[in-house]
Amino acid sequence: MKHNGVSAARSASGIAVVLLLAYGVPVAAQQPDTASIDAIFAHFRRPGSPGCAVGVTRDGRTVFQKGYGYANLDWDIPITPSTVFYAGSVSKQFTATSLVLLAERGKLSLDDPVTKFIPELPDSTYGRVTLRQMLHHTSGVADLYRAMGRAGIPVADVFSDSAAIRLLASQPLNFPPGTRYSYSNGAYFLLAKVVARVSGMSFREFAQQNIFGPLGMAHSRFHDRAGHIVKRRAMSYEPADDTGFVQSYMSNFDKVGAGGLYTTVGDLLTWQRAFFGGKVGGPDFLRTMLTKGVLNDGDTLSYALALVDTLYDGHRIIGHTGSMMGFKADLIRFPDDDLGIAMLCNLGSVRQRQLTLPVADLFLGGSGSGVRP
């Protein structure tokens, strides 16, 4: 579930956008043809191709939702906005949200050491690692999937959560806590375990009762048991020279926290509106979530709590990508422009920002020549 943007960086004709002149002076709103968005996803409209679902919100309303390509190539089931995809590391913002909600309720402090909640982790290694550092990827905690690879344990195998904790407990830190940034799925897996132990329910249940249920995200859930049925689930694929595409779905994969979220573009847009609209948590929730990490030497990161906050073509952009199996995801927000874009795909060759940022350009009137975060 690697995130690739930390270091740098409406239906039919009812889409209204503000076009900008070359010098940035706004002109009368115009309606870009839906075909302009279709063209960005034209590659997936060929017969028998996996593809993507995309949704756009502008000025607080969903102004575009559409699917391109197929959710299941065996049955020729097309992708629609209601298709459910695995969201990869987009999941992490819900893990971070869960920690912040518990902190607001006085159940924990983000500056608590992780060993307070997971004593199986050796104090000699993890005693100075805080939840906040883990949220910002500055803890030095090993990446779980890399650790599995080093141990000869395929991610596709059945592998219990307790075994995953033991594996991480045996790993040295990659660096002293707070001294560097290094993306860690291991840290977020452990954070989900903290949520479960503090709340007294599974992480899946906590997210359902405290996030998905209250917000009406009816098609979202954390997949913590491989045998659970997921209605309207897309399969995932990779390109293959001989047959066109092959499945790349790990049916045994059930780890949550770093990933594990199944959802739709509509649910992600619902989440995004609530998140930035002050409908999640207390009065300081949004500020906490958007506070960037700071290293021990004072260097400030672009990574906040599972959200990257940077610039694109002069516009502030906040978001996170996701990637696992053949699934690709992106959820981005241009807060000063009240523009949000959600995209979920089931083809591993997709490069998320090569699709979502051109969509943003149509709404922002940008040149598309900015640094892509």
Which of 41, 77, 43 lies closest to 341 in space, CA to CA?
41
Residues 345, 348: Cα–Cα separation, whole Å: 8
Could you give the 3-state DSSP secondary structure of residue 132? helix
What is the rounded distance in angstroms from the CA atom of residue 335 to the CA atom of residue 338? Answer: 5
- Tens digits of per-residue pLDDT, 188-210? 999 999 999 999 999 999 999 99
Q: What pTM was estimated for this model as a whole?
A: 0.90
31 Rama class: left (phi>0) / alpha (psi -120 to 50) / beta = beta
- When pLDDT is cut at 50, 70 and 90, the band that residue 259 belongs to is very high
Please report which helix (H) or strand (E) contains residue 164, including its range.
helix 161-169
pLDDT in tens, 136-162: 999 999 999 999 999 998 888 888 999
- What digits encode the pLDDT tens for the residues 33-70? 789 999 999 999 888 999 999 999 999 899 999 999 99
- Whether 179 and 296 have beta carbons less than 8 Å apart is answered as yes
Q: What is the mean pLDDT of the chain?
A: 90
Question: Of 239, 257, 353, whose CA–CA distance to 9 is shortest?
Answer: 353
